[in-house]
A and B are shown apart, each in its own frame.
Chain A
Amino acid sequence: MNHPPFANVFTPGKWKEQLFLIYNHTTMHRIFTILIFMGLHAVMSGQVRMIQGVVTDEENQTLPGVNILVRGTTSGTISGIDGDYSIQVSRGDTLEFSYISYKTLLIIVEDQNRIDVSMEIESSTLEEVVVIGYGSIRKKDVTGAVSIINVEEMQKIPTSNIATALQGRVSGVQIINAAEPGLNPTVLVRGYGTIFGDPNPLVVIDGIQTTTGALSNLNPADIESMQVLKDASAAAIYGSRAANGVIIITTRTGQKERFELNFNMETGVQSVANRFEMMNTAQYAEYTKRLYVNSSTRFLQVNPPAWTQNEEVLATDTDWQDVSFIDGKIQNYNLSLQGGGENSSFFMGLGYLRQEGVFVNADFERYNFRINSSFKHGRLRIGEAVNIFYRQKPETDLARRPMNIYAVAPQMPIYDENNLNGLGSPFPFITGGNNLPNPLAYDYRSYVTNGFGAQGNIFAELDLVKNLEFRSELNLTFNNNAFERYYEPIAQSQAAITSTSYEIDIRNNSAVSINSENYFKYNLVQGKHRVNAMAGFTAIRSTNVGTISSGSNLEPGTRVPQTGTSSRGSGINNEMTLLSQLARVNYNYQDKYMITASIRRDGASNFSRQNRWGYFPSFSAGWNVSEEPFLKNIDWLTRLKIRGGYGELGRNLGTFLNTLNSEIRYPWTTGDISGVAPLNIPNENLRWERVKQYNIGMDLEVLSGKLTISTDYFMRFSEDMIIQVPLPMFTGIPESAWANVGSMSNNGVEFDFNYTITRTADFQQRIGFNFTMIKNKVKSLSATQDTLLANNTITTPGHPVASHYGWVVHRVNPDSGQMEFEDLTGNGRVSGADRRILGSPHPDGFFGFNYSASFKGFDISAFFQGVWGNHIFNDSRRNLQSTHLDRNRLASVLVDAFDPVTNIEGSLPIISLSNQNDNDRAADRWIERGDYIRLRNMQIGYTFPAHMLKRANLRSLRLYVNGINLVTWTKYSGLDPDISPMNDVFSLGLDNFRYPPVRSFNFGFQIGL
């Protein structure tokens, strides 16, 4: 047999050398140490003989590439070109034949010398089991809107956070990404359902209820399955916590009689994908001259700053984007071990990830350790799933750094040996009024959180009597964050990042959440009836305790507050509890008719006694039409199900308490300086925010499962929405008031389409397509107020929440060069009343498209996603095009700005410090369409055939390359149309200088032993 040339690379002797190369080159030696400890190349011994055979499909065509494994051992092979195989076995061994999209076959070896097998195509995905929270059911019994994520597809995208990879993968779930290393993307299930606070869904990892924040601590490689409970009837069992939907994740477990080791390695480079074209020094000098000369008045002749005439200064021309942006390396290593016996199973995972930012001090690093196992003893099952992590996350004001990079003076030299750290600095006679600091000065400031934590559960299940079991589960989430901000002084630069001494801020906090869950599960299958029920109670107590201390004027080289002349300490110490009772029943008659009903009662400590408890019911039903006699005989129709439901969900946040701020100071000479002041407004009436949701859907499967279509229509109503009502500033209250205000709806359609174009032994092709259309509309606000204005947005009945709001440009006045705005009220003057709605930040829809194919060992996939119909407030452009600031501007400003002599038709106002008409105010000229299509991921891989790997004792080996964010088609003029909101809905679609968009290329391999 002729081996391809590269087969030699992985000969038994050499693969260790290969790994050793990596070992030497990486920080993963610890993982390998463990690997070597385990003696993985131990050879099985025993009474063995050789058997052989041929694997065919249903139509008697031979199947090459089928995985054949002796269960419980590492010994295995892969069928050859003609479907033939041979393998060493002992009597009583179990042979496992597996092949993608075919049913796995198990055959016990007796005395045969030859075993020919015929494999069947896995006809229906509906046999899948779906985890729905507090239990799982067969997919065919699902009556709510539940999306099952293809985890394998997603794991192809290198990411620190699985939510990032979820973008475009499933209908109804919009992901708005953040390029910043370690930052969480925004996850919106069925639209932006809340005005205030976290719009992200509840995340349940192995039964542990947490937030999307926990996804940044989870190693994506550990994930076994992931589903999204989108509608209320599915999510209602999580009641008070599920108003924004639920993502359920289960992590890997070992399989019986099968010991596997997998090692994945990936490395890549990411770089800034898109830049602004800023002025060079000559252009900026021209701009600056106009800026100052045009600002003169009769009594004040304003001369341009001296530097604009200074040949020496003008000779310096720094492209700060070139200087500041660097290529960030990505490294990701994962090692996992899994296996199991008759009564136990285990999974162990180790992960290391390092994602460097596109500038210095923006690196994200994470170590993951996971152990999942379960044991069975008679009627008792016990187990645990534990994730321990350590991570270092950059906390630098990453958003402000890019702004500084764009607007800093180009005539400032990069280096100047006379200054501290040898950096050029914005000294006024070099940079005039542009006092932005040298962007490289940020390199001397570190700002990181070291997070150490664990998230785990221990459970026990006991069969009480027939069909009835009891499960008790204790979940613990522990997070210790040590935040350290360390600044070195920056000599004589005068902008806001200046620090005048060595300074440190140290914050430490431990957040602990303990969740006890106890419930009974009842399962009954009797004749045509199938009942699946649960009832129980849960209690959660979360505490967060921490301290903050800071110091300045530190001794150089020290990083503790006490070496400085100043330090001050403060702390946090808070607690929150939630108590719930819950029950659910699924009933299925003849696999044709299904109903599900659930109820949950929740009490939350942050509401006053009279408003503390909320009830959250749901009901849904399904009808498997294809099981009816009149459809039973249609060949092409595999499955047709119609389902519908209604449910209510809740959300609690805020507080009813009236507290004082005791961090106030007034510096009396006696040192008696501490003071107190009101902090907030009490609201005894604060109560549960409620989401009521109707859902109707259909699942269709035709052509023996080759084509599946799923579609849903939903109406989601958010009521009594909790927001922090912005108070007039003249109330003097620092915090806004918590209140239940208004209602809104998110109605929409979801559509998922998956088609297997080709499915032969050698060649498979699949496409998947999904889209979602959502309409957001505010129904009402409070009785006293019909509008809510914030951040240049308006929230008012009949329109989408947080619609862009502002003036309409009339013209640039041809005499003064000032911007004029439309007098919409027609009262002869332009005032606040002349603003109108300028666009919606919510997309009309979003979609994802996936193509994947494999031919022999090669596989390729391309993934596109996009949104349409949203508007972006381009605040970055508003800043960079403002003609009234002594800052570097977009190069186009010189061409587009009004000039009384050379350009009276300019579209931008006159370049002058004088800005008499608030020219840059929020107006239609900053609103742009945010539609885009993005080739988000493209990947090419090669899986080595098993017969080549056999000699290396490898079970599998795949190499691949991929590119992320390769092409974006958009008319949006900013750097990236995919803009994550910051804290609340009022920053949705607000592009105000974000971490620049990045593109990455990666190479990786996956080895199985």
Chain B
Amino acid sequence: MTRLYHIKFHIKTFLVMAILTFSSCSGDFLEIIPVDAVLSENFFQTEDQIRRALNGAYSPLGNRGMYGWWLSPIREILSDDVNTLEQGIINHHFFNPTNTDRQLFTRKDGDGLWKSIFMGVLRSNLIIIRTPESQIPSQIVKNQLIGEAKFLRAMYYFHLASFWNKGPLLLDDNFNAVDVRTSSAEEIHEAIERDLLDIIEGNWLPWTYDGSPGKEIGRASMGASLSLLGKLYLYQGRFQEAAALFKQVIDRNVYSLIPIEEVYTLQGDNGSESVFEVQFNYKGAGFNPFFDDGVNASESTLRNQMLAPNQVGGWENLWPSQNFVDQLDNDDPRGKLFIIFPGDPIPGSAHLFNPSLNKGSYSIRKGVNSGYSAWNPQGGVADENFPLIRYADVLLMYAECLIRSNTDTDEAMRMIDQVRARAYRYDDIEALKAEGKGVSSVMVQRNLSLFEVLKLERRIELSFEGHRYLDLLRWNDAASNEILLSRGWAPEKAYYPISQEDLDLTSLLTP
């Protein structure tokens, strides 16, 4: 009797188990809503969400493939201002479409300039396309969000045009971009211009930010948009249009030159000279380009580690060329501020610079000053923001427009003298001129034309910030530059090629 009961009991248990399993057979069992990731379809609704997406769009600027690591020297490395033994350059490897070096073409997220540019483009595209359909009530807020995204998209495409001079042009949120063709530099320029004109004509962005959350100093601003469009016009040879834009920036009086000692240093970060810069704020806590892989941007830059001399443990990836040093006036304070000369103390260390222990006879000091430098054994990461556009550059670009359009050379000289007065630590340009350091004096002393003085001033003031090579191309000076030619420069090697891997994966993209 007991036994029978037991069996019955077990049968019941089985039935219960069976029913349990059967009941879970309903479709619900297979509906899993992920809790470990944000679903795209639910996003881009609120202002807060789109702000987070905007942070995502800014972030590739700090990727290893951009200013977190390689782009900072890569911008410089092709120019006659520096020498290098770096593979990519003396190999001409960067001009080989099949190279998969992590500096240019790697699939790895966060690495590779090519991919980083387009990570920024895609993220900007999503904001530009989705924000109009969001639930944000205020059109002004919407415009501002779209405006920042448009500035970023323009900035990323400006990088593409600068280093490739052509490439895929993606302006929507279509992910499956396998049938994209190669657009010309003109088409890319046109897209940049359209984005920036939207911002400027719609007055979508503020000139300044108050530094509160969501309004951080350093966000894309009206001044940055005008300056970038001016720069584009300058590159296109539209000097008068460019001059008009630069004048707007100057006349607005929100920017000023800071003491030369503070240029490209932690003190100068986001200062009054800053028009647009890449933010780094590691402060010992955050994504470090050296250790943290992945799609997360770096929050610090390895510029120090890359440029510091071997003697103190730096990699010394590049160093100032003799040709550059030869251009400096002996009494130009920028010499000692931007360069370490033999016998100079190496900042942050007890060592004096000794060329026989290093690759170069000089070492770059500019932008390599802060506390986390390789010069103290903390390691190579640093927090100096990378200046993409600063006010001195705006003044010099304005001067160049005036000179090349032959409109107002006096105004042009005043602009250059402003930059020089700051460099030579004079209170104003009159004091500069009085000491024989003004542009007119330089023209006489060195027997140079005004345009040539401007070129020289750009070369020195903006040295080691990645302008020189692009300037040489813009001025058509590359083909006659003996240093470039000695390294095998050729017109077909002026710009990087499109990645062979991407050509392999698409049908319409052409080299």
Contact = CB atoms under 8 A, between A and B. Distances in A.
A666 to B, nearest CB: 4
A673 B300 CA distance: 13
A579 B31 CA distance: 11
Contacts of B13: 460
B91 A913 contact: yes
Contacts of B30: 577-579, 603-605, 612
Contact of A676 (B53, B214, B279, B323): B53
A832 B504 contact: yes
Contacts of A831: 97, 511
A82 to B, nearest CB: 53
Contacts of B98: 832, 918, 921
Interface in B38-87: 38-41, 43, 49, 51-59, 61-62, 83, 85, 87
Interface string B203-226: 000000001111011100000000
A665 B298 CA distance: 8
B118 A494 contact: no
Given A494-B305, A669-B211, A678-B123, A573 B55 contact: no
A729 B115 contact: yes
6 contacts: A428-B310, A657-B39, A673-B55, A673-B281, A675-B54, A918-B96
Contact of B509 (A572, A574, A728): A728
B286 A729 contact: no
B333 interface: no
A658 B118 contact: no
Nearest to B22: A537
B12 to A, nearest CB: 11
Interface residues of B, number: 129
A660 B14 contact: no
Contacts, number: 328
A726 interface: yes
Contacts of A538: 21
Interface residues of A, number: 107
Nearest to B19: A518
A681 B40 CA distance: 10
Contacts of B11: 462, 464
A732 B120 contact: yes
Interface in B16-32: 17-18, 20-22, 24-25, 27, 29-32
B10 A460 contact: yes
A470 B21 CA distance: 14
B509 A539 contact: no
A914 B123 CA distance: 38
A537 B85 contact: no
A682 B40 contact: yes
Contacts of B323: 299
Contacts of B131: none
A668 B284 contact: no
B296 A663 contact: yes
Given A668-B279, A730-B170, A915-B93, A678 B38 contact: no
B434 interface: no
A665 B59 contact: yes
A525 interface: no
B17 to A, nearest CB: 5
A575 B32 contact: yes
A604 B62 CA distance: 39
Contact of B59 (A380, A579, A677): A677
Nearest to A474: B17
Contacts of B311: 428-429
B259 interface: no
Contacts of B377: 491-492, 500
A733 B122 contact: yes
A661 B55 contact: no
A18 interface: no
B137 interface: no
A457 to B, nearest CB: 14
A913 B90 contact: yes
Interface string B122-134: 1100100000000
Contacts of B509: 728
B357 interface: yes
Contacts of A970: none
Contact of A668 (B35, B96, B114, B281): B281
Contact of B121 (A573, A606, A726, A732): A732
Given A537-B22, A732-B118, A306 B279 contact: no
B447 to A, nearest CB: 24
Contacts of A500: 377-379
A573 B377 CA distance: 39
B501 interface: yes
B350 interface: no
A378 B122 contact: no
B167 interface: yes
Given A299-B486, A664-B56, A832-B98, 9 more contacts: A378-B6, A609-B27, A664-B296, A669-B218, A676-B43, A678-B123, A784-B507, A832-B504, A884-B87
Contacts of A577: 29-30, 32
A295 interface: yes
B107 A729 contact: yes
Contacts of A605: 29-32
A136 interface: no
A727 interface: yes
Contacts of B49: 676
Contacts of A566: 284-286
A732 B61 CA distance: 13
Interface in B259-311: 270, 279-282, 284-287, 290-291, 294-297, 299-300, 305, 310-311
Which 8 pairs across A and B sit closest by C-beta, in order of nearness? A675-B55, A500-B379, A732-B122, A428-B310, A566-B285, A675-B56, A667-B281, A659-B37
Interface stretch (B173-181, B249-257, B424-432, B471-479): B173-181
Contacts of B180: 728, 730
A380 B10 contact: yes
A902 interface: no
A730 B213 contact: no
B125 to A, nearest CB: 9
B483 interface: yes
A682 to B, nearest CB: 7
A728 B505 contact: yes
A375 to B, nearest CB: 13
B7 A658 contact: no
B295 A664 contact: yes
Interface in A878-901: 884-885
Interface string B354-383: 001110000000000000001001111000
Contact of B379 (A295, A435, A498, A673): A498
A501 B177 CA distance: 43
Contacts of A494: 305, 313-315, 374, 380
Interface string B437-470: 0000000000000000000000000000000000
Nearest to B323: A299
A681 B173 CA distance: 11
Nearest to A499: B291
Nearest to A918: B96
A13 interface: no
Given A299-B486, A669-B281, A670-B211, A677 B10 contact: no
Contacts of B92: 916
A306 B356 contact: yes
A743 interface: no
Contact of A734 (B105, B295, B321): B295
Given A306-B357, A675-B55, A728 B502 contact: yes
Given A537-B25, A679-B37, A669 B295 contact: no
A526 interface: no
A539 B25 CA distance: 8
Contacts of B305: 494
Most buried by B among A472, A682, A729, A784: A729
A383 to B, nearest CB: 14
Contacts of B488: 916
B212 A670 contact: yes
